[in-house]
């Protein structure tokens, strides 16, 4: 008797699924673009609305706060009510609120609109990734689809400042928000025709207490990290983070006790899931932190305008996009853990190159190092996301997708805070030794940041001001070098972790089953009719 169990190959996606992916790419690109499109529009809208410095910062930051805070809730909500349904609700809300933001008549109104845009964006981000996992069952196709999805995210973040600058040349600042309206209209029309519906029919009611706990845990931590990155360490920001962590412990304990939790903590018991999550978080932090310092280097040391600085970011974006498209193909023959480890080694080399950037004529060295860092980042983001989503059972794909996005948001905030703090500490230490003799007020301003040094130099006699600017640029570059040097061993350590912890995951072309596909799906989780 033949007792061999026959494993049916997964159904390959056809034309409808690939067109559906193009539909999902539109909101993905737009949501990523919204993180940075206001960088150049801020002075214009600030003048029109009478926004002070604090209000301008909230206009920029509140969107990211709300996206990060609501991702976990919205990812799980999509699993319960239907991922396509939540996507369409979010698209309608995003389009309407975009109109409200574009025609805001006060700073308070725009801050409120940006907050609502963040909540709507949190419904869209995990829904797009979870639907991709439903549409592309074949591991090879799913890897390529997630690679294309990730490429849209990268393009959106990179071109945001450039798009904002181009729009400002011909239109008013509100045009940056109107871009979202036609995109969401297309999504609302195409989604019922091209995207499948999927929900976990056996899930219970949404636990509102868990929702409140998740927000109370995430928002203070993100807030503290961002404020530390912008202003330096301060007791109030550290306290905010400690409070968030304490509430996070309460949240985790509640999830473990609930029969149908908002976030299933058992996902972290899967080695592929927890390994991918940790690598996404820490690897993303290192890359985001050095990218943040590089944008400051372009403007403060090289003296470029924001628009020109944005254009100088295009080469590394192209490198990252190329890596995102190539690494899924490599992963068909090489185990993903080893591909990620290889990317991290490349990233470490990039950090070492950046640690050698000179104060003068350092642009080409800085560009070469940054390109290597972000080429190495591509496998981390693309294959790490693929592993994280694939390691979760189908009925938890929304939760897994939200955790993927949450790890990215935390990684960015953590990296900017950590790398920024390292750079600032080195800057202050070196400037104290190399700056010329200054009046107390000028010395205090110069010691805070290179921007402060430039402003202080304008009030000083010519030779003293020039010496201060030169000393400030040298101190900032040394801080940049030091932060990059710290990133190199972090990348090497993560490469070892990836090679060891993820070595059991087979190449996508090997015929081995991905981790989640080797487990039986919950029979309560059934696809809904399109």
All residues at 6 or more sequence positions from 257 whose CB lies less than 8 Å from its CB, including other chains:
none
Whole-number pLDDT of residue 373: 92
| Burial class for 160, CB neighbours closer than 10 Å (0-12, 13-18, 19+) | buried
Whole-number pLDDT of residue 229: 67
Q: What are 115's two structure tokens?
A: 């907050």
Terminus-to-terminus CA distance in the chain, angstroms?
A: 41
Whole-number pLDDT of residue 23: 84
- Planar angle of CA 402, 408, 412, nearest 5 degrees: 145
Chain centre to alpha carbon of residue 365: 25
Whole-number pLDDT of residue 276: 84
Whole-number pLDDT of residue 464: 80
Q: What are 302's two structure tokens?
A: 């090289």
- How many angstroms separate the CA atoms of 63 and 52, rounded? 18
Q: If we measure between CA atoms, which residue out of 136, 162, 128 comes closest to residue 24?
A: 128
Q: What are 406's two structure tokens?
A: 């949450």
Whole-number pLDDT of residue 524: 41
All residues at 6 or more sequence positions from 336 whose CB lies less than 8 Å from its CB, including other chains:
379, 383, 386, 387, 502, 505, 507, 508
- How many angstroms separate the CA atoms of 159 and 316, rounded? 12
**pLDDT lower than 50: segments of the chain:** 1-7, 513-530
All residues at 6 or more sequence positions from 360 whose CB lies less than 8 Å from its CB, including other chains:
none
Q: If we measure between CA atoms, which residue out of 20, 23, 130 comes closest to residue 75?
A: 130
Interior/surface letters 257-290, b for 16+ CB within 10 angstroms, e for the rest:
eeeebbbbeebeebebbebbbbbbbbbbbbbbbb
The pTM (predicted TM-score) of the whole model is: 0.77
- How many angstroms separate the CA atoms of 477 and 479, rounded? 5
- How many angstroms separate the CA atoms of 131 and 152, rounded? 16
Whole-number pLDDT of residue 348: 95
């Amino acid at each position: 008797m033949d007792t061999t169990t026959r494993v049916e190959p997964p159904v390959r996606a056809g034309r409808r699924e690939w067109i559906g992916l193009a539909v999902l790419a539109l909101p993905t690109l737009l949501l990523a673009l919204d993180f940075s499109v206001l960088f150049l529009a801020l002075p214009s809208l600030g003048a029109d609305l009478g926004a002070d410095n604090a209000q301008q910062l909230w206009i920029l930051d509140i969107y990211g706060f709300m996206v990060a805070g609501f991702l976990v809730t919205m990812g799980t909500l999509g699993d319960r009510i239907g991922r396509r349904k939540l996507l369409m609700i979010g698209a309608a809300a995003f389009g309407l609120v975009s109109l409200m933001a574009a025609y805001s008549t006060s700073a308070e109104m725009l801050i409120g609109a940006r907050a609502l845009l963040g909540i709507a964006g949190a419904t869209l981000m995990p829904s797009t990734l979870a639907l991709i996992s439903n549409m592309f069952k074949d591991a090879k196709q799913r890897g390529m689809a997630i690679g294309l999805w990730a490429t849209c995210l990268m393009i959106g973040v990179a071109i945001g400042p450039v798009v904002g600058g181009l729009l400002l040349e011909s239109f008013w600042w509100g045009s940056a928000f109107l871009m979202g309206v036609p995109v969401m209209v297309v999504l609302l029309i195409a989604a019922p025709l091209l995207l499948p519906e999927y929900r976990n029919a056996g899930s219970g009611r949404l636990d509102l207490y868990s929702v409140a706990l998740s927000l109370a845990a995430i928002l203070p931590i993100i807030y503290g990290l961002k404020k530390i990155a912008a202003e330096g360490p301060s007791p109030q920001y550290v306290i905010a983070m400690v409070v968030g962590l304490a509430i996070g412990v309460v949240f985790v304990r509640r999830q473990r006790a609930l029969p149908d939790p908002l976030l299933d903590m058992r996902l972290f018991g899967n080695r592929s899931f927890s390994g991918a999550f940790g690598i996404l978080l820490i690897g993303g932090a290192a890359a985001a932190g050095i990218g943040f310092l590089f944008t400051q280097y372009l403007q403060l040391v090289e003296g470029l305008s924001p628009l020109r600085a944005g254009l100088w970011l295009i080469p590394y974006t192209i490198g990252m996009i190329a890596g995102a498209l190539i690494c899924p193909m490599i992963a068909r023959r090489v185990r993903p853990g080893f591909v990620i480890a290889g990317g991290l080694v490349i990233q470490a080399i990039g950090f070492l190159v950046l640690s050698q950037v000179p104060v003068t004529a350092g642009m080409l060295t800085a560009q070469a190092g940054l390109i290597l860092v972000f080429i190495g980042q591509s496998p981390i983001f693309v294959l790490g996301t693929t592993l994280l989503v694939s390691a979760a059972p189908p009925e938890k794909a929304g939760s897994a997708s939200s955790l993927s996005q949450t790890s990215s948001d935390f990684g960015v905030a953590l990296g900017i805070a950590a790398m920024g703090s390292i750079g600032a500490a080195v800057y202050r230490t070196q400037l104290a030794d190399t700056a010329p003799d200054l009046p107390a007020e000028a010395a205090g301003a110069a010691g805070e940041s290179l921007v402060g040094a430039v402003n202080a130099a304008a009030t000083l006699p010519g030779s003293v001001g020039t010496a201060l600017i030169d000393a400030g640029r040298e101190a900032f570059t040394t801080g940049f070098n030091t932060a990059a040097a710290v990133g190199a061993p972090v990348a090497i350590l993560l490469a070892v972790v990836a090679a060891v912890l993820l070595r059991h995951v087979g190449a996508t072309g090997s015929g081995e089953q991905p981790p989640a596909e080797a487990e039986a799906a919950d029979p309560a989780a059934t696809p809904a009719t399109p």
